[in-house]
Each structure stands twice: as structure tokens, then as C-alpha cells.
A and B are shown apart, each in its own frame.
Chain A
């Protein structure tokens, strides 16, 4: 029996706290953060993890802890950011790959989730393998799809807790993903509907190499609506109608939707600004109707 199993959680937290107090530079903060997380002291766990990352910025394990705590706090974007950092610091880090798989699952990006979980499962990570089986079941893919990934029976595990409830029905998800297809027409445009946290509600943003970067863009644009509102209010511009920016290769238009959401339309740089505006209006109409339907 391990020390962890023998000691009660409060004892374990006390012991690890003492250890960290004696040597603040030790890596005991990782075990302490996890102990606090399991005891559902999530805010304290986050503080411990943040202090750990401040001292050990290059430690993948420290960022991995931030990811676990953030996932428990349902802060998906922060968790994804932490695990992305852990993966950068330690390529192939199983905790990071598994964690990214969990977050991508919760975001409804099942194909990408399956890819991350499969990589983690290849290292013998049983939780990742269990989660992978669940994701594949939702995708309708055989659990044997990759012969090198160990097959795990679906049973109650930490993965079930981390994965949380399954995302919306795949048909609904696909419908949301393709929401703007008709409004965008044949031109080289793409559109996303983001919520107040920058999470993708509908649409997709697929780059030339086929990667959907909607979540990354949403993360960067988190708060842009507040900023536009603040600017309009402060400068007495009335309600803000749109923010448009031009880059080397694209024109991006954003408009407020409902109380909290943000519509983003990106068009090829050669698209005249007036056309971008018309496409944005069409997408806004479509989003309004859809939001009314699903409300």
C-alpha cells in the first residue's frame, strides 16, 4: 500500500504543505496541488499550481498541473493553453496529450480529441485509452481502429470524470459547424460564432492545411467585445456595429450577436470590403435565426 493510500487526504495535504514550506523550491507543489484538487479545494490548488509555475516555468509537469486544475474548474481554454505549453516543453508528454484530448472532447472536436488520446494511450496510459474508447464509440469508430492502441473496457475511471458529459448530438454539432455554409456562398469566406468566453458556438475556421483553428482564434478574441463596447462608450460612438481588420491575406469582420456572442467572418484579402460587409450581414441574420431556434 502506498503512503498516499495509507494517509488521509488532510494528512497528506498537511505533510505536503510542510514539505513545501521547508523547501519552497521543491516540486512538492505538484503532489500538493493534486491532493487539493482531489479534495475539491480548486481555488487553493490553482494558487499552488500558479506559484509552482512561477518558480518552475520550464517544468512540463507544473503546466500539466495547471491543466488538471483548470479542467476541474471548467476553464477549458486555460487548460488547453497549459497543456499546449507542457507539450511544447516536453513533446509527447502523456499527461499533456491526454489533457488536450479531454479538452478537445469537451469542445466537441472529437476527431482531434481521438488523435491526442490515441497518442497518450500508446504510452500505456489507461485513462487515455478508456477515454479514447468512449470518444471512438461516439464517433462510431471501432475501438480496434489502431492496433497499437491497447483496448480498454469502458468502465468508471478518472477519464469519465474528466471527459464530462458528451457533447451535443453529432448531427447537431455538424449542423452548427455548417451553419453559415449557405450564407457564405461560393466565395472564399469563413465564419464563426463565439460565446463570451471565446468558445466556438457555431461555424468553423479551417486553414489551408485543413486545421480547424476556431478555438485558437476564439481564445485570442476573448474579451474583444467588451473592449469594443468600452471604447464605443468612452468615445461616445453609440453602440458598436462592427470591428473590421485587414491583414496581409484576409479581411476579418466581427459583429456583436445577442447579449454576449460575437460573430466573426473572414474573407480572402482580395474580397472588396463592401462584399465582406454584405456577407457578414447575411451570416448575422443566419446566426440570429439559429440562436432563436435553439434558445
Chain B
């Protein structure tokens, strides 16, 4: 695993990344898509994940705004081989990259708890 300079998010990110099938987790600036801290397995491009996930999250927020649906709390992109999960936490987003075998329900609950501590 690789890790950036430890921050107050390090322990929480490490705990998420220990989940079965999770390849990495990171905290990013929601507006800019810039990584704040990350815990990633080797080969996972944290910068790209943060930028793409924050961009998709922003689009979801705009469409939710257009429909009067309120704030977006959780977003999941499901691919054939894996998932990207994004949880909003104020001006930050918590992102996890997970294989398709991951129990997303459990991961979502863990992310919700972690995001509550972030906000």
C-alpha cells in the first residue's frame, strides 16, 4: 500500500481500505477534485480517481438541485468489474474504489459513519 503524509484522516482511510475487496479510499476537495489524503493499494491512481469522482458528484448535485431533491449524500458508479463510491461530507468527498465482489451495503454504512466524522 502507498500512503501520503499522515493526516487526521489516515486512520479512517486505512480502516476503509482494509475492507474485503476495497482497493483504496481517499478524501478529496469536492469542488476541485484534489486529493487531501489517501490510502491506496499499489497501482491505483488516486489523483485521477479524486478528479473523476468529484466531477461526477458535482453533476449529480446539479441535477438534484434542478429537481429540488436536496443535497446528495452518496453516489455509486457500478462497473462490470468494480465500483466507485462517493460520500459527501461538507466541502469534502470520501471516495472508495472497490472490486465487484465487495459488499457495497456494508461499505456504504462504514462510509456514512466515516463521513459523519469528517463533516
Residues of chain A whose beta carbon lies under 8 Å from any beta carbon of chain B: 205, 207, 213, 216-217, 219-221, 223-224, 227-228, 230-232, 234-250, 252, 266, 273
Contact = CB atoms under 8 A, between A and B. Distances in A.
Interface string B53-67: 101110110111111
B9 interface: no
Interface in B80-96: 80-84
Nearest to A224: B59
Nearest to B97: A235
B103 to A, nearest CB: 13
Contacts of A238: 79-82
Contacts, number: 115
Nearest to B52: A231
B71 interface: yes
A237 B81 contact: yes
17 contacts: A216-B66, A219-B66, A220-B59, A220-B62, A224-B56, A232-B77, A236-B81, A238-B82, A241-B79, A243-B56, A245-B76, A247-B70, A247-B71, A248-B69, A248-B71, A252-B67, A252-B69
A231 B56 contact: yes
B66 A239 contact: no
Contacts of B78: 240-244
Classify the secondary structure of A's interface with B: mixed
A241 B73 CA distance: 20
* List of 10 A-B pairs having minimum Cβ-Cβ separation, nearest first: A237-B79, A238-B80, A248-B70, A220-B63, A238-B81, A245-B75, A216-B66, A247-B69, A231-B52, A245-B60
Given A220-B62, A223-B59, A224-B56, A232 B79 contact: yes
A140 B81 CA distance: 52
A217 B68 CA distance: 10
B48 to A, nearest CB: 6
A232 B62 CA distance: 21
Given A227-B56, A245-B72, A235 B66 contact: no
